[in-house]
Amino acid sequence: MSKSSAANASEAAQGTTSASGGGVVVRGDTLTIQTHERIELTDVTDRVVTVVRDSAVAEGIVSLWSMHTTFAVFMNESQKALHADIKRLLESMVDRDADWMHNDPDHSDCDRLNADAHLRAMLLGHSLTLQISGGDLVLGQWQRVLVAELDGPRSRTLRVQVMGIADRTT
């Protein structure tokens, strides 16, 4: 059994990308998040809102994509107590020390001992699509965009792609 993982040749350019056609705008931006703990939740809502407003899209969608296998993006409430509960749930659902094959040098060439991080990220998700209306991100009262570091601390990238119809009055 091969110990290696399929890898991609190159990553998309960092920074802002943009295109437009017939009133439709597509704008991409990258957000860098520096994490400090092995497991850590960060509220990135305000940063996403900024990208949305800068795009001048009035009605459309925004796709959020984690650029990493062990870093997730999802929505929930931003409260320290709830974040402690999320961490506790992830630790109970995926046992860090359960003799995962991904952590076994006889079967895997990855030496980060992070099988748990891959599995927890898989449960949370790497892709989140939100809506834009009236030029702003659509969010319920308590909804915040959260990213979850599962194998930190590291520097992480979240890519934000806005697509929609521009506000012609701007």
CA 121 from centre of chain: 10
Minimum Å gap between C-beta 117 and a second copy is 11
50 contributes a contact to a second copy by CB under 8 A? no
Contacts with a second copy: how many residues (CB under 8 A)? Answer: 88
Minimum Å gap between C-beta 38 and a second copy is 18
CB of 37 within 8 A of CB of 86? no
Residue from 37, 54, 85, 91 touching a second copy (CB under 8 A): that is 85
CB of 145 within 8 A of CB of 44? yes
What residues numbered 4-33 form the site for a second copy, per CB under 8 A? Answer: 4-8, 11-13, 17-24, 26, 28
Sheet holding 40-43, edge to edge: 40-43, 144-149, 71-76
Please give the torsion angle defined by the CA atoms of residues 75, 76, 79 and 84, in that order, rounded to the nearest 10 degrees.
-90
DSSP state for residue 12 in the 8-state scheme? P
What residues numbered 127-146 form the site for a second copy, per CB under 8 A? Answer: 127-131, 133-134, 136, 138-144
Minimum Å gap between C-beta 50 and a second copy is 14
Minimum CB distance to a second copy smaller for 84 or for 153: 84
What residues numbered 59-78 form the site for a second copy, per CB under 8 A? Answer: 59-61, 63, 65-69, 74-78
Q: Is 113 left (phi over 0), alpha (psi -120 to 50) or beta?
A: left
Query: Please, what is the end-to-end C-alpha distance for the chain in angstroms?
Result: 57
51 contributes a contact to a second copy by CB under 8 A? no
111 contributes a contact to a second copy by CB under 8 A? no
